[in-house]
Structures are given as structure tokens and as C-alpha cells.
Structure 1
């Protein structure tokens, strides 16, 4: 089994990364392979609604000058997917939005490639708008026929400066609980 997490923050070592690492640490402790992919701050194009993914049906986006196709491949191969984003003007980062749109479209066009995988949203926020980010990410999971893992509360951590989220004890515990819930779900639904 494998869980892949995508960090949509351009801040290396930022709060989104801290939250994702806490979840992945818990999943790794249960013996499940994990991978953290940094997409924030990289060249990532938004969806052009060209519909080529529905024409080609090759599991790839027609935009091939960034690494989103590599991300889509990782999502398809994984059993669990975590999307992490900072809160920018009460929504996801542009990189996460591009990944949601393009991966969502490509995987739907190719027979619901994410169907029955376990998904989770992880959000870093300074003050407000985090629930909108949480909802935006979870909509991909619903449209893709995935199962959404939850925690004790929404998977949101508060902090501004890199690492400040570590002082949000409730958020850090929620990340542990999220990791435990993903592990439980993955183990219960594993193909025998």
C-alpha cells in the first residue's frame, strides 16, 4: 500500500509541509509506504478544457510541459491521496487548483481512475478561509468516487510563519488522528 501527499505551498518548510509530514509520519509508522511531492512554486498550468483527455483516453493531460502528468500517474498508482494547500484568499493555491482540475478531468475521462481510493485534505491557514479550502479539495474526492478520510475535526492548522503550525496542538493531534484513520481505512479495504 502507498499514500502520496501533494504539497501545494510554494514555501519550502512552510506550515502545509509541517502538517503533511505529521500525517505521513503516522502512516509510515503503520508500515505503509508514503511519498511527499512538492508542487507549490513549480511551473504548473491550469486546465484548458480542451477535452483531449476524453479524446485520447491515454491517462494523460495534453499539456505536457509541466509535471502534472507525473502527479496524475502517482495518484493512480497510490491507494491513498492527500492534497495539502495553504489558504490563499479563502481558496486553494493555484498549483493545487491546477492539479485538482487536470487530474480530476483526466481520471474521469479514463474510467474513474481514482475510484475507491482514500483521500484527505490538509489545510494551513493564518486566520480564516480554511474551510473553503478544505471543501474545495474534498470535492475532487467526491466527484472521483473516492472515500474521504476525516479526523477529530477539520484537517486545518493555524500559523503564519513557517513552522508556527507546530504550536497548534489540536491541529497536530488531528493530523495524527487523520493518519490513523487513513491507515485503518486502507487496511480494511485492501484487496485480499
Structure 2
């Protein structure tokens, strides 16, 4: 089993990475393979709504989003991490997730997902809530911890001093590993994911 941890910070080895690394360590102790995938620090466009991915399965803009989508096909769980910018997730991870999830829901159905946020002081819960919405609309199971999945600090060294935050990350990793093993055990017993109804779509002007 494998979990991909996505680092949505423009800093490859910054505070967000430090938090994700702690989660990855707990997962690996439970026998789960991990990969920390960096979104990068180059300009990343938001979704254009062109619909090309609905036909091809990949975005028309061939960048790190498509690289992730190809990896996601083989992953069993996902953790998306972001720094907090103006009480919200980073622009990079927001654009990344808009394009990674749109038209590609089959990659995520029935798989556990979790969000991790890193902030200096405030805005963590708002960013955390923002990221969780990608999971709840994609038939995923959200993995929780002993507190909201956040760490505090302005540098990696400060994050490493956030003992409660790091413990929250380790608990998240342990909980993710437990859920993955439960899903695997269920499949072996013939328990499959609930059959989906044909989607019904309405809007509020009718």
C-alpha cells in the first residue's frame, strides 16, 4: 500500500514538508510506502474549464498536475499539505487540486484523504476546512487525528518545537495506516465500496 503526500508549499523543504515528513514516518513504521510529491515553485495555472480532461483523463496543461495524476492511479491514500496564506490554502495547491480533482473523481473514490496545514499563527482552521472539501465531494474518507491537522512555526526548526503539532501528525499517520489496513481486510472478505447511484444534478433557479 502507498500514500502520496503532496507538498503544496513553494518551499520544498520548509514547514509544510516538515509536517508531512512526520506523517510519512508514522506511515512507514506501519509498513505503508510513502512518497512526498512537491507541487513546485513555478507558476501553476488554475483550471480553465475547457473539459479536455473529461476526454483524455489528463489536463491539457502538461505540468506537475499530470505527473501527480499518473502517480495517483496507483496510490491507496492521499495527504495534501499547504502553508496558510491569508487564512487560506496556498494559491499553488488550490490551482493544483482544482485541476487534479476535476473530471478525475474515479482516481479518488473510496480512498482515504487528509489535509495538513502549516501556519505561523492564525488561519489554520480556515485553510484546513478549505482542503477537506475536495475529499467530501469525491467519495473519499477523511482521516482525522487528535486535533486539527496543523503545525505552527515560521521555520522548520520552529515546527520541530511544536510538540503537540508533531504528535498530531504522527497520530494522523497511524490513523491513515489503520484505515488502509481495514479497507484491505474488508476487500479480502468481499466487502466492496457502495455502488453509486446515477448522478442527479439540479440547480437553484428551477
- Provide, for residues 90-134 of structure 1, a one-character-per-residue CA deviation record: whole Å limited to 9, x for no partner: 1111221012100110313xxx32101110101001111111111
Deviation of 1:152 after TM superposition, in Å, equals: 0.1
Contact residue 123 and residue 133 of structure 1 kept, 8 A: yes
Structure 2: 5+ residue stretches without partners: 189-206
Give the structure 1 partner of residue 182 of structure 2: 188
| Structure 2 residue corresponding to 1:143, chosen from 127, 137, 145 | 137
Provide the C-alpha distance between the structure 2 equivalents of 1:183 and 1:173, rounded to a whole number of angstroms.
15
Provide the C-alpha distance between the structure 2 equivalents of 1:173 and 1:29, rounded to a whole number of angstroms.
14
Structure 1: 5+ residue stretches without partners: none
Superposition misfits of 4+ residues, deviation over 6 angstroms: none
1:156 aligns to 2:150 (yes or no): yes
1:89 aligns to 2:86 (yes or no): yes
- Provide, for residues 141-186 of structure 1, a one-character-per-residue CA deviation record: whole Å limited to 9, x for no partner: 1111100000000000010123311111110000010000000000
Contact residue 13 and residue 163 of structure 1 kept, 8 A: no
Q: TM-score, normalised by structure 2?
A: 0.86
1:174 aligns to 2:168 (yes or no): yes
Bigger Cα displacement from structure 2, 176-185 vs 158-167: 158-167
Q: TM-score, normalised by structure 1?
A: 0.92
Change (3 A) 1:87 1:40: farther
| Structure 2 residue corresponding to 1:130, chosen from 107, 116, 124 | 124
Structure number with bigger Rg: 2
CA RMSD of aligned residues (A): 1.2
| Structure 2 residue corresponding to 1:114, chosen from 83, 103, 108 | 108
1:67 aligns to 2:64 (yes or no): yes
